[in-house]
Amino acid sequence: MWTNLETAFELMLFGMGGVFLVLFVLFLTAKLLIKFLPVK
């Protein structure tokens, strides 16, 4: 039982980390695009 709970928490942690990682990468690419291609 306890090992199942630990596995669930690990999977949840990886899922949350992946979501925030993707959001962070999108944020960085948006910032870089704005910097290199400014609005005229």
Residue pLDDT, tens place only, 5-37: 899 999 999 999 999 999 999 999 999 999 988
SS (H, E, C) 1-40: CHHHHHHHHHHHHHHHHHHHHHHHHHHHHHHHHHHHCCCC
Give me the residue spans of the domains in the chain: 1-39
Whole-angstrom Cα distance, residue 17 to residue 25? 12
pTM of the predicted protein model: 0.62
Angle made by CA atoms 29, 35, 36, in degrees to the nearest 5: 90
The phi, psi pair for 39, rounded to 5°, reads: -75, 135
